[in-house]
Structure 1
Amino acid sequence: MTSPSTVLPPAAVLRYAAFATDPAGGNPAGVVLDATGLSAGQMLAVAAEVGYSETAFLTPVAADTAPAEGVYTVRYYSPLMEVPFCGHATVAAAVAVAEQHGPGQYVFSTAVGEVPIEVGRDEDGALRATLTSVPPHTEEATAADVAQALALLGWAAEDLDPALPPRFAYAGSRHLVLAAATRARLADLAYDFDGLAAFMTERNLITLQLVWREDAHTFHVRDPFPVGGVVEDPATGAAAAALGAYLRELGAVAPPAVLTLHQGVDLGRPGVLLVELREGDPRVRVSGAAVAIP
């Protein structure tokens, strides 16, 4: 495989922490603002060297002979594979673009469809990106699927919250949502890495979205990501969008609503994701800040 150092100069790979304003929090993502001419193998090599759960590779989209303003083709790579969509790398990349071109409206053309993004500034001046998911959906999880997932996690059926039944959920990538009955159960995460990776690969899952509901609109979440070569994702925007769709379709949350998701606390990288559900629009909006990692 081509060495990443011969593909791009080091300065071409930016590093951001998404869903946080502190570089030591949130989920680190690599960002390449101009991936023109890079092959799939070269992008994978760069992502593997960066070592974060995902790196986003942007290419400006041409309109006739000039770039279309604010429109980019984006591909996402973990250290092991290409993923169809990644929320935290989208937020990181959108903030990186806005630092160069200013806050505003952008469109990322991804493998799962066009993802509109709005970047603005918080009251404290921090840049915040809001992505709008592709149309989501959920599916029933069979008893056999749930039993196997629990066995691989080392959970018992009694560890689940009966008010939030297991479901597969999709909002750009596919996840299995499992709700823990207690915060202590969520905090104690030790699982069969290879076994869970095989289970997820067979079902086209990107992460498991493990959640604990603190109150009507506040959740704590964790996301094992062995298929990407990462034990746990510190903040997962695609899974947050899928969770929003799951809660709405289940009737557990009625729009309009804004949900607050706390993730990364158990890893020492706290992050906050805001999930907005609007009336009359099936899509889910996920917002978060991002900051450059020195």
Structure 2
Amino acid sequence: MESMENHRWTRWASGVTIEDMDVLRYSAFTTDPHGGNPAGVVLGAGHLGDDEMLRIAAELGYSETAFVDGDRVRYFSPLAEVDFCGHATIATAVALAERFGAGPMRFHTNAGEIAVETTVADGQVTATLTSAPAHSRPATATELDEVLAALRWDRADLDPAFPPHVAFAGNEHFVLAAGTRERLAKLDYDFEALGDVMSRGGWTTVHLVWAESAELFHARDPFPPGGVVEDAATGAAAAAFGGYLRTIGKLGSGRFTVLQGEDMGRPSVLTVEVDDRPGIRVTGTAVRI
């Protein structure tokens, strides 16, 4: 039997419950509004055109804003539309669960249908998204050289156990593993040069990681194509990274944690689960700003 929570979600998704646009601000992958990655969530956005959504995203100034029309969700950075955004999906799911009850949701995005499960414990909503089918390929020598030059890194800075790849789980991310935590902490890159390389490659972020263990990774995500120097938590990149680890055979237990935003002063915690299903599961919380 359909639960009351699911019934409320169905009524909202059909357009019955909310008629006017409602602009919300959440920080995802944290329980502290001073941590995590801020995202805009615009409910009842069906009447907005592309230019209006881009203008609102730019005014909010977050790395992404989700625009929700029933079960249709679109994502805009301050500069352009993005096919899929993990932290804005988590923020949207938490916002909806807080208003209409927890349970399963399905979002129709430019990257395909994204299933999200929400639960509540001790008053805190947790959301788990399942990404589009993930895959990964080795980076070419030219791609690697161009990224390293823009980052001002050398090949000696890399961890040879984690080869550079281009990974996909809704959109593409260039995955690069630092050999030390110190190298990851010293991020001082050429914004214009890296943005140009990423634009030509069609990559959403460069996912820089350092492996503390097989189940714990630290990450930083430059995002110049969106007009953002760095993302504090990138659920889409975490999902792509899960697919990457599966491809290269470095999964460990199949469940791992990504710590992101630490070097920005906005710590974020992303939990990633990988199994033999095509999509990757990414779990986190979100809090109203």
Instruction: State whether TM-score is above 0.5.
Output: yes
- Separation in 2 of the partners of 1:277 and 1:258? 6
Assess if the C-alpha contact under 8 Å between 2:242 and 2:280 holds in 1: yes
Deviation at 1:282? 2.2
Shift of 1:257: 1.8
> Quick one: distance in 2 between partners of 1:290 and 1:49?
21
In the alignment, the residues of structure 2 paired with residue 217 and residue 243 of structure 1 have an alpha-carbon distance, to the nearest angstrom, of 13
- What is residue 287 of structure 1 aligned with on the other side? 283
Structure 2: runs of 5 or more not aligned: 1-19
Q: Which amino acid aligns with 1:84?
A: D
Match of 2:49 in 1: 39
Residue 228 (structure 2) aligns with: 230
Asked if 1 retains the 8 angstrom alpha-carbon contact of 2:27 and 2:33, the reply is yes
In structure 1, the partner of 2:60 is: 50
Q: Does 1:26 align with 2:36?
A: yes
TM-score scaled to structure 1, two decimals? 0.90
Residue 266 (structure 1) aligns with? 263
Residue 85 of structure 2 is matched in structure 1 by 86
> Does residue 155 of structure 2 align to residue 152 of structure 1?
no
- The 2-side partners of 1:248 and 1:265 are apart by 25
Name 2:137's counterpart in structure 1: 139
Give the TM-score normalised by the residue count of structure 2: 0.92
Distance, in Å, in 2 between the alignment partners of 1:11 and 1:212 is 41
**CA-CA distance at 1:283 after TM superposition:** 1.2
Q: 1:6-47 CA deviation, whole Å, 9 max, x = no partner?
A: xxxx98210000000000000000001110110000000000
For residue 125 of structure 1, report the CA deviation from its aligned partner. 2.7
SS of the aligned residue for 1:88 comes to helix
Output one character per residue of 1:85-139: Cα deviation in whole Å (capped at 9) or x when no partner.
00000000000000111110000000010000000123x3311100001101111
Which consecutive unaligned segments of at least 5 residues does structure 1 have?
1-9, 61-71
CA distance in 2, matches of 1:55, 1:229: 13
Residue of structure 2 equivalent to 1:219: 217
In the alignment, the residues of structure 1 paired with residue 132 and residue 105 of structure 2 have an alpha-carbon distance, to the nearest angstrom, of 15
Equivalent residue of 1:169, what SS? strand
Amino acid at match of 1:34: G
> Structure 2 counterpart of 1:243, which letter?
F
What per-residue deviation string (whole Å, max 9, x for no partner) do you get for residues 50-86 of structure 1? 00000000001xxxxxxxxxxx100000000000000
Superimposed CA distance per residue, residues 180-233 of structure 1 (whole angstroms, 9 cap, x where no aligned partner)? 000000000010001111100000000000000000110000000000000000
Q: State yes or no: 1:192 paired with 2:171.
A: no
User: How many residues align structurally?
Assistant: 270
Deviation at 1:258, TM superposition (A): 1.1
* Secondary structure of 2:167 counterpart: strand
**Separation of aligned partners in 1, 2:200 and 2:270:** 29
CA distance in 2, matches of 1:253, 1:132: 17
CA contact (8 A) 1:33 1:97 kept: no
Partner SS for 1:191: coil
Identity %: 56
Provide runs of 4+ in structure 1 moved above 4 Å.
Answer: none
Counterpart Cα distance in 2 of 1:259 and 1:33 = 32
